[in-house]
Amino acid sequence: MRLAVRNLVRRFGGLTALAGVDLDLAEGEILGLIGPNGSGKTTLVNCVSGVDRVTSGSVHLDGREITSWSRVRRARAGLARTFQNLRLFKELTVLENVAVARTAAGARKMRDGNSAGDLTARLGLEDRARSVVSRLPSGIQRRVEIARALATNPRVLLVDEPAAGLNDAETAELRQLLKEVRDQFGCSILLIDHDMSLVLRVADRVQVLDEGRSIFVGRPDEAFKQSRVVEAYLGIQ
């Protein structure tokens, strides 16, 4: 497995945000992580990426336990993420944003065809390379953020709410982009989003969380046939 989470628990004082979650992400897979608000999705990604410390349990990347590793060490090992709230350098150009990530990754990470200029071209940003990011539409900014994450040559890409603020046309483009990223860059993707039109069409499998527990793992077209999943989303018993 590219990424494996075992019996992950995360508590904030008296609140249990994750109550023993297991998760597996295979090589070349897109796994959609879904669930109602407050179900623990972002907390799980924060624990995997090193933003939050786990209370107990373990996180493994390519068979190595990384539970106690720093965010920087995880990134250098091949774990990259994007955020629901864009964290781009807004006054830099598209090319400069990607170049910063290339520099941070270090020469050890460089591969042929993955220079900052190559990446902007491969992600359809060549015509925008010299544009200041703050002047670009949300959909293009999302694409820039993914390009910047890919600049570190990740094995696993964690994508948190990429469709937030996008219109239908931009979301359709994002769907295609995520598939291309998986196919062209060979990285596994853990995708969180509330937009079911995105997740259910792009994911190979979905995992549903509710109140910090995993309640379903399987094919996207089977998820909402499960009464427990429907109950979680509708808030009924």
Q: What is the pLDDT of residues 78-103, one digit of tens each?
A: 999 988 777 788 889 999 999 988 77
Count of beta carbons in the 10 Å neighbourhood of residue 102: 20
Taking Cα atoms as reference points, which of 5, 37, 35 lies closest to residue 216? 35
161-170 per-position pLDDT tens digit: 898 888 889 8
Distances (CA, A) of 15 to 34, 35, 38, 42, 235: 20, 18, 11, 15, 20
Highest mean pLDDT out of 44-48, 116-120, 195-199: 44-48
Flag the least confident range among 11-25, 111-125, 186-200, 201-215.
Answer: 111-125
Burial class of residue 72 in the structure, from the number of CB atoms within 10 Å of its CB (0-12 exposed, 13-18 middle, 19+ buried): exposed
Check pLDDT > 50 for residue 234.
Answer: yes
Third-level CATH fold of 1-78+155-237: Rossmann fold (3.40.50)
pTM of the model: 0.91
Spatial separation of the C-alpha atoms in residues 187 and 203, rounded to whole Å: 14
Would you state the pLDDT for residue 179?
A: 94
Q: Which tokens is 196 given?
A: 């079911």
Spatial separation of the C-alpha atoms in residues 83 and 79, rounded to whole Å: 14
More confident residue, 236 or 179: 179
> For the chain, what are the domain ranges?
1-78+155-237, 87-153
Would you state the pLDDT for residue 223?
A: 94
Spatial separation of the C-alpha atoms in residues 107 and 210, rounded to whole Å: 42
Distances (CA, A) of 116 to 67, 109, 124, 229: 31, 12, 13, 42
Would you state the pLDDT for residue 159?
A: 94
Q: Which helix (H) or strand (E) holds 47?
A: helix 41-49
Check pLDDT > 50 for residue 8.
Answer: yes
- pLDDT-based confidence at 112, cuts 50/70/90? very low
- CB-CB contact of 203 with 33 (8 Å): no
